[in-house]
Chains A and B, each alone.
Chain A
């Protein structure tokens, strides 16, 4: 079956760095997405990886290893506004998105 696994909840300190991991098992693979969702709001697109390696976008970076079925989202210089859920989703061979349950990130002062 198809599956996306990510931790349910993580806690980090303002100004620090946090890494949110995601492992995936999909029928075929056509890329991996990360979305951010604040409570009561729409998920918003953060990043897309289809090739191995690190993609950097300001304070946020996303990494992919296709051979390991593994990705992570790295958040640097954490701010209180980064408190949100982070959703990992993989595109399968039919381009259907397979979603993880999300990681709730709590930032403490």
Chain B
């Protein structure tokens, strides 16, 4: 495996379900990110972890709960979601949060549909 991988690639869930998204990076990076991408809207940064510590939480509703057990793995736990949460959820990694030329590398995303 190379780069950033995400599973599952597609997920359909009801509003009462609980599910988790998984991200893994094989780049030796220290920072990992969750983004939400909705059609024709800019990428929305949700969470940032730097050296396993959460450094950013951009006013994300508590129905989204991140977990970063180590620098290579990132999870997004989902519960009691709303239909408006349907979107593409992208994971990214970079060498270190706050670096000047720090380039983020993205996974292919999880297409989430909430019924």
Contacts and interface: CB of A to CB of B under 8 A. Distances in A.
Given A87-B43, A97-B45, A100-B42, A42 B109 contact: yes
Nearest to B98: A95
Interface stretch (A13-21, A44-52, A63-71): A44-52
B56 A31 contact: no
Identify the interface centre among B42, B45, B99, B105: most chain A CB within 10 Å of its CB.
Answer: B42
B59 interface: no
A48 B90 CA distance: 20
Contacts of B98: 94-95
B61 interface: no
Interface residues of B, number: 22
Interface string A22-43: 0000000011010100001111
Given A96-B56, A97-B45, A8 B103 contact: no
Interface in B73-115: 90, 97-109, 111
8 contacts: A40-B108, A42-B107, A43-B106, A48-B103, A50-B100, A91-B100, A95-B97, A102-B42
Contacts of B4: 42
A97 B104 contact: yes
Contacts of B41: 101
Interface residue SS majority, chain B? loop
Interface string A45-86: 100101000000000000000000000000000000000000
A95 B98 CA distance: 5
A95 B104 CA distance: 12
Contacts of A30: 100
Contacts of A33: 103
A27 to B, nearest CB: 15
Identify the interface centre among A31, A42, A98: most chain B CB within 10 Å of its CB.
Answer: A42
Given A95-B99, A97-B43, A98-B42, 11 more contacts: A30-B100, A31-B100, A42-B109, A43-B43, A43-B106, A95-B97, A95-B100, A97-B45, A99-B42, A99-B43, A101-B40
Contacts of B107: 42
